């Protein structure tokens, strides 16, 4: 089991961000892990009928099978499971601890108004 799978499995079991799990996330993901944990604690991970969206500093990013952010596109190696942008990390954490902000609407409809 790689380090990412380990903290994910631990979150699946415990369903909360314990200090041990937080430390493990930070050890593997450093600043991206911290940004992800902050986003989860601030309820910036939103689940719509069609997409999961993470509210970033400048935009909202769709997180489905990857992320639409520039960090994912340009900086991260897709074949390295430890290299995930903080938006993907936030979605993974929020999903496992049931901390998504649920919206019973289509994001594609909401996005038209933004």
Structure confidence by residue, pLDDT tens digits, 49-92:
999 999 998 899 999 888 989 999 899 887 888 899 999 999 99
Q: Which strand ranges, in their side-by-side order, compose the sheet holding 60-62?
A: 60-62, 52-55, 45-47, 101-102
What is residue 97's predicted lDDT score, i.e. its pLDDT? 97
What ranges do the domains of the chain cover? 3-111
Question: 87 or 110: which carries more pLDDT confidence?
Answer: 87
How would you label 72-89 residue by residue, b for 16+ Cβ within 10 Å and e otherwise? beeebeeeeeebbbbbbb
Confidence of residue 96 (pLDDT cuts 50, 70, 90): very high
């Amino acid at each position: 089991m790689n380090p990412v799978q380990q903290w994910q499995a631990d979150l699946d079991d415990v369903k909360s961000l314990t200090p041990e799990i937080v430390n493990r996330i930070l050890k593997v993901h450093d600043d991206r892990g911290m940004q992800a944990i902050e986003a989860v604690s601030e309820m910036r991970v939103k689940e719509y009928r069609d997409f999961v969206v993470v509210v970033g500093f400048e935009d909202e990013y769709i997180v489905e099978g990857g992320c639409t952010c520039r960090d994912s596109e340009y900086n991260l190696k897709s074949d390295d499971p430890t290299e995930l942008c903080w938006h993907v990390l936030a979605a993974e954490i929020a999903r496992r601890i049931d901390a998504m902000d649920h919206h019973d609407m289509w994001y594609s409809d909401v996005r038209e108004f933004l």
